[in-house]
Amino acid sequence: MDAIEIKAFVPARDFDLCKRFYTDLGFMVAWSSDDMAYLHVGKSSFLLQKFYVKEHTGNFMMHLLVPDVEAWWQHVVAQDLAGRYGVRLTPPEDRPWGLRDFTVDDPSGVLWRIGQEIDGETS
């Protein structure tokens, strides 16, 4: 058995707004249609879909492991994502599971945890 990759289909209530949000967050749009977009940063990627069910989206969570969480946090703050998109941010914090991370909700309510390993611990 072998696999090449796995991608999540991330829901978007306002598809165009969410594409702008994710590009401002740091992702590149590699491909897009009227109802689906392939976004990536480095080797990490996901599919943004024009699909919204409040109960589903409000319970959807993504995790992005990065080499420098403070650099990502500074980028998010500099982009004023909270002010421009009305999203919730929580600052970086050390977690008991061995990560330092922060959270950001996307405009649809998808929760992202962006973090790095602490002292070589694995996630």
The pLDDT assigned to 1 comes to: 95
The pLDDT assigned to 123 comes to: 47
The pLDDT assigned to 121 comes to: 52
User: Quick one: which of 37, 1, 33, 5 has its CA closest to 18?
Assistant: 37
Q: Any idea which residue has 């740091």 for tokens?
A: 26
Q: What architecture does CATH give domain 9-117? A: Roll (3.10)
Tokens of 74: 């500074």
Q: How far apart are CA 54 and CA 64, in angstroms?
A: 23
Q: Where are the domains of the chain?
A: 9-117
Evaluated on CA atoms 85, 91, 97, 40, the torsion sign reads positive
Give pTM, 2 decimals: 0.93
Rounded to an integer, the average pLDDT of 25-32 is 98
Asked if residue 46 lies in contact with residue 10, where contact means CB atoms within 8 angstroms, the answer is yes
Q: How far apart are CA 17 and CA 80, in angstroms?
A: 15
Rounded to an integer, the average pLDDT of 36-65 is 97
CB-facing half-sphere around the CA of 96: CA atoms within 13 A: 0
- Mean pLDDT taken over the chain: 96
